[in-house]
Amino acid sequence: MESLEKYIRKNHDSFDSKEPMDGHFDRFQQKMEARKPARKINLFMVAAAAAIAGIILTGTLGLLFNSSYSDIFSKKELTLSSISPELKEAENYYISQINERYSQINTLKKNSSPEVKSEVNKAIIDMSVGYYLLKKDLNNNPKQERIVSAMIQQYQTRIDMLDQILKTLQKVTQNNNQ
């Protein structure tokens, strides 16, 4: 690098004598004139877009906080317990049984392999999907006895499947301990 710098300093005068070819400045000027002018921002369009966004935001917030529309936004999901006291008792029983089994499964899962954990989680998610679909149907048709019956059957099926998962996990745990 130093040798290049020495060469340039030594021959400094010969570099300054070179001029660009004839017509260079004219060609450069033509290219500059041919360039598209810089795009101007249309302030009217920006102001209009901001005003529309403000109106939409104000309208949405007004609807959200207006008391006559609050029931639309705060619509609660129906459960079996909201239909009758007997169904509330049944639902509480099934939920407690399911939660107890989830707790046991989580305890046994800790000692399992990642593949087993993944399979158990997948099975639990698959069971939950059916339940949430029935819950959605119940919200749409709260007086349908067949939906209520299907939900109770879904609870019983979930308990049976969780029992099967528990037995399988217990066998896997015993095999790992031996």
Instruction: Give the residue extent of every domain in the chain.
Output: 1-75, 80-177
| % of the chain with per-residue pLDDT over 70 | 80
Q: What does the radius of gyration of the chain's CA atoms come to, in whole angstroms?
A: 37
Enumerate residues 6+ apart whose C-beta is below 8 A from 74.
Answer: none
In angstroms, rounded to a whole number, what is the distance separating the alpha carbons of residues 115 and 109?
10
CA–CA–CA angle 72, 132, 93 (5° rounding): 105
pTM score, two decimals? Answer: 0.52
Between the alpha carbon of residue 133 and those of residues 21, 81, 130, 150, the distances in Å are: 80, 17, 5, 11
Query: How high is the pLDDT of residue 74?
Result: 46
Average pLDDT over residues 132-139: 79
pLDDT tens-digit series, residues 31-58: 887 776 666 777 777 788 888 887 887 7
